Amino acid sequence: MSRAPLYALTAAVFAIAAVAIVTSPEPRVAYAEVPPAPPVPDGPPSTVSALAGAVEASALAEIEASLTEEAVSRSTSTTSTTTTTTTIATETTSAVPDASEASDTQEDPDEAPPPDKPAPTTTTTQAPPDPPPEGHFDSGAESEFAGMIAAIRSANGKGGLSRDGSLDAYARSWAKQIGESGSLAHSNTGSLMPPWSVVAENIGQGGSVSQVFDLLAGSSGHLANMLGDFTHVGIGVWRDPGGILWTAHIFAQP
């Protein structure tokens, strides 16, 4: 049998493959290889034609299957690449700041650092200390002495004594002087005459009125002044900063 029909069949198959490759919508990196045609047995022309048709159909089916598989593979590869690229871009955007932002936040190496803020200071304000106590006149003690003198005079049949303002001022002045000096001493009672014709003086120092009065009443000379023939009396009491009582009693008669 002549091999011309077999060559013609093979050429037709390659032509179909070429057409399929050229008309493929996507570029390819692989190609489909046509398997060698099986040997055609000798036989009548009708049998040869049937075999040729079977070979052609088989080749076309294999080509189409190869093209379909390649197209699916490329589609999957493209989708995977796109997905990977998108994921990387998203991570990069969230992790790396924008170039303009990075330039705004970059510190200038020549810029001097801000000065340190001074540490807060704590100021403690204390109230000023109390001033040292001062001496003062004690009018209450003066009244007590006047009452005790009147009582002892009355008990001894003597009349009462009138308080005299000028004598009170003189007694106060001298009580303060001995209190500030811290020592007992008699004043110059002669400076009170005239207008007074007779003048006597008692002085004392102690912690309380009763204590000082008891000392005066227990002394004959001081008791004689309290019970003398006098008509007026002046009493002064000074308490020093320590609370000690200093007193002067001036007895007078016009």
- pTM for the model stands at 0.50
Q: What would you report as the CA-atom Rg of the chain, rounded to the nearest whole angstrom?
A: 70
Q: Is the pLDDT of residue 176 over 70?
A: yes
Nearest C-alpha neighbor of 239 from the set 208, 202, 201: 208
Tokens of 90: 């998203």
E-assigned strand segments in the chain: 136-137, 162-163, 198-206, 232-239, 245-253
Structure confidence at residue 133 (pLDDT): 77
Residue by residue, DSSP assigns 155-180 as: HTT----EE-HHHHHHHHHHHHHHHH
Q: Is the pLDDT of residue 30 over 50?
A: no
Cis geometry, peptide bond prior to residue 97 (ω within 30 degrees of 0): no
Across all residues in the chain, what is the average pLDDT? 73
Residue pLDDT, tens place only, 233-243: 999 999 999 99
Residue pLDDT, tens place only, 38-79: 554 554 545 445 555 555 566 566 666 666 665 555 544 443
CA distance 160 to 232: 9
Q: What is the mean pLDDT of residues 29-46?
A: 46
Tokens of 31: 């190609």
Directed axis angle between helix 209-217 and helix 139-155, to 10°? 30
φ, ψ of residue 27 to 5 degrees: the values are -65, 150
**The residue type at 11:** A
Nearest C-alpha neighbor of 254 from the set 200, 195, 201: 195
CA distance 75 to 77: 5
CA distance 173 to 189: 13
Q: What is the mean pLDDT of residues 141-162?
A: 97
Q: What is the mean pLDDT of residues 195-224?
A: 96
243 sits in the region (left: phi over 0; alpha: psi -120 to 50; else beta) called: left
Lowest mean pLDDT segment, chosen from 30-39, 127-136, 161-170, 189-198: 30-39
**The residue type at 43:** G
**The residue type at 217:** A
Q: Is the pLDDT of residue 143 over 50?
A: yes
